[in-house]
Amino acid sequence: MSDYNIPLIGDRFPEMEVQTTYGKISLPSNYKGKWFVLFSHPADFTPVCTTEFVGFQKKQDRFKELNTELIGLSIDQVFSHMKWTDWIRDNLNVEIKFPIIAGTESIANQLGLIHPGKGTNTVRAVFIVDPTGVVRAILYYPQELGRNIDEIVRMVKGFQVSEKHGVAIPANWPDNELVQDHVIVPPPTDQATANERTGDNCFDWWFCHKKV
């Protein structure tokens, strides 16, 4: 068991100053007012990680449209990150335009990124953090499985739609098998409201949906 208090959903992201390919940044304070997605990778110069970084970069504009910044992390040093991103630029014609943290073992342990059975390599973790610095989602992937970047975009958008309209987000939204691009209306809290829940947009009083 670790002595570190790994942040959970609903916790404030721990305060830390980190060294990145863009210089030192303070988390989460440097991103106040913005969402950010911090994702760790096992190591530089590895094939699956390379496909992920290209995938994140290809979606960076989509994240920015959602007021969301990207931050990478592994325990490799900054010079290794820079050499790797240079290789990606020179060989794959993709320039990585977001910072990559040179994570210390302390930072990796604090965020629960070191698997005891995998040596010192960091696992594939994703932290989605809101503009107030609160952790809204945490995803963990094994080393052998690359992430689906579209799902992370969907999650950020879903959180924002949920907050703005006070609704819940169905499975596979916006292509849900039952309600397509609609969202779920919160269930009623009293009998009178339940009695009013009828119509084409309700399967029953407890299962209603709407377009936003």
With a CB cutoff of 8 Å and minimum separation 6, the contacts of 193 are none
With a CB cutoff of 8 Å and minimum separation 6, the contacts of 59 are 149, 150, 153
Residue that the structure tokens 């100053």 belong to = 17
What is the number of H-type helices and E-type strands within the chain?
6, 10
116 CA to centre of own chain: 23
* Separation of alpha carbons 190 and 151, rounded Å: 35
Concerning whether 202 is annotated as a catalytic residue, the answer is: no
Q: How many Å is the Cα radius of gyration of the chain?
A: 20
DSSP E strand boundaries for the chain: 16-20, 23-27, 35-40, 68-74, 100-102, 124-129, 135-141, 183-185, 202-204, 207-210
Catalytic residue among 18, 27, 49, 153: 49
CB 135 within 8 A of CB 128: yes
* Separation of alpha carbons 201 and 210, rounded Å: 6
The residues that are catalytic are 49
